[in-house]
Structure 1
């Protein structure tokens, strides 16, 4: 598959391509909403190959989640930004479990140590803390774009923008804003009032220009810390804060659920290509508190 990447509001269309009419391909704030069949990867590749950007991929493999590292990296080497400079920043509590994988030209792995956790929620919330610190101290000098992803995923293809967000597969067909699982408790920093909202985005894949991602990651970390001081934990941890941020800081590109589908779910007709797949797993086995 192509090593395609996108920036800002540019989407390439070839003259022979027929635009899809079964899906929306633009948001109400005029940002592209990317589906297979709504862009020409050849045009975009030609533009961005000349730029030679440095891409950072941040993933956390804590506890038993290290079992997913090999598949993640191997699929990334086949499908993620082939022909571009890529560094996988792997945060783990067990460096010995990081596999040796043959990497392509210009691709590297940087392993960073983080503490173990007793609750999977601690891992989720800790991602924002450690990512914020590491961007400040290290990644800022080594990358132009940054992707944050769940380790239990495998690549198919990808898209970058100044700030990209992926529609959650469980809610992308929802037409009622009050049907989104936003944090509705006013005491929480993730609070979104009833009747407000654009989409519901997943926190399993998000990416963009490094400084834009830094502002978003730092926001999620700081807001989670404020909630913790008040003994509040948003229902979906950083995903709740992510949705709050993106409501008032619109992404420059919205990616369809093709960019994170799940092996648990049947693929519907409007999903023409599964670009990133979330693997089936037994949460009771891989999560430190048995998935609770």
Structure 2
């Protein structure tokens, strides 16, 4: 015969456990790192929700078995003249702080593809041949590389012999009477390229200036979720001297006393989904500004700096990764890997 008191006790206990489980689930859903964090949670109310990218892209690193290399140390660094980590614990990549053999051994078995975008519009087509030739010598050598050239002069794209696994794709874009418009449209075109042509989120993309040349290794040490390059003209300066967009009316606005580093618009990258979010956000903010007749101080570079102030890069590349040929090399620059060439802007730009 069923004991009514025992059955009642069991039912009450089950009900209490069910309520506790439901409360715990709701609490977890509110604190889970997968939530869509809005700027109101972490910044003043005037921040746009489009500023924040809550995705996480931790990469599991597997080293080849029996690979031998020099023993690393945590008490004696190979560089003492520079800072090698940001306040948010992202690596800052300098010559001498990484082992290229170890890194290539980790990343090559992943069978990843490195995508590079480059814009050769108008007279900038003259720089493309040297860019492509030097990329063959130094940019992710030994990896699969796909280079997308955006140009309004497809018939002038040079023939460059490329190694096995490396391809060149040409995409036609309209010309423009203002170089600022060419610069501003890059984010839109990068966003569309990723959405329409690059579905594999395990791959990486770097967006690079065509009026530049490679001089040394640019490889797996630069891979990360969201990758920024510190600007060679400002990396020693106080942030009060950075050419951020300072008008509060612009969506690229960074207030005095805010900001980390000043990043280059001519070199940035990371995982496809991270760069897609960056390009989509910067495009949205640029177009919203344009509807109010606002053009940020340095077009897409201003919006990129705003985005990366909120969404911290997971890896920062030193000025080795985009030096300026007209500048003398500072003592901490042990190697120039990529640099902007000396040029006469009056000859190559369609407007002053």
Q: Given the two structures, how large is their TM-score scaled by the length of structure 2?
A: 0.77
* Distance in 2 separating the partners of 1:142 and 1:110: 19
* Distance in 2 separating the partners of 1:273 and 1:83: 21
User: Would the aligned equivalents of 2:85 and 2:91 in 1 still touch at CA under 8 Å?
Assistant: yes
User: Would the aligned equivalents of 2:79 and 2:97 in 1 still touch at CA under 8 Å?
Assistant: yes
Residue in structure 1 matching 2:267, options 189, 205, 208: 205
Does residue 47 of structure 1 match 2:106? yes
User: Would the aligned equivalents of 1:9 and 1:31 in 2 still touch at CA under 8 Å?
Assistant: no
Q: Deviations over 1:173-206 (max 9, x none)?
A: 12x3222111110000000111111111011100
| Aligned-residue offset at 1:140 | 2.8
Structure 1 match to 2:234: 171
Q: Deviations over 1:52-105 (max 9, x none)?
A: 211110010000111111101110111111111111100000100101110001
Q: How many pairs are equivalent?
A: 282
Q: Deviations over 1:124-172 (max 9, x none)?
A: 0011111111211112359711110000111222222111100001111
After TM superposition, which residue ranges in structure 1, 4 or more long, deviate above 2 angstroms? Answer: 7-10, 12-18, 139-143
Q: Given the two structures, how large is their TM-score scaled by the length of structure 1?
A: 0.92
* Distance in 2 separating the partners of 1:260 and 1:33: 14
Q: Deviations over 1:2-56 (max 9, x none)?
A: xxxxx8597x994268521110000000010111111111111111111121111
5 Å matches for 1:88-103?
Answer: 88-103=147-162
Residue in structure 1 matching 2:71, options 4, 11, 15: 15
* Distance in 2 separating the partners of 1:149 and 1:89: 11
Structure 1 match to 2:190: 131
Unaligned stretches of 5+ residues in structure 1: 1-6
User: Would the aligned equivalents of 1:177 and 1:198 in 2 still touch at CA under 8 Å?
Assistant: yes
Structure 2 match to 1:61: 120
> Secondary structure of 2:334's match?
coil
> Secondary structure of 2:228's match?
strand
> Secondary structure of 1:126's match?
helix
> Secondary structure of 1:50's match?
helix
User: Would the aligned equivalents of 1:54 and 1:142 in 2 still touch at CA under 8 Å?
Assistant: no
Does residue 86 of structure 1 match 2:148? no
Does residue 71 of structure 1 match 2:130? yes
Structure 1 match to 2:334: 272
User: Would the aligned equivalents of 1:166 and 1:259 in 2 still touch at CA under 8 Å?
Assistant: yes
The structure that is helix-richer by fraction is: 2
Q: State the superposition RMSD in angstroms.
A: 1.8
User: Would the aligned equivalents of 1:56 and 1:143 in 2 still touch at CA under 8 Å?
Assistant: no
Unaligned stretches of 5+ residues in structure 2: 1-57, 64-68
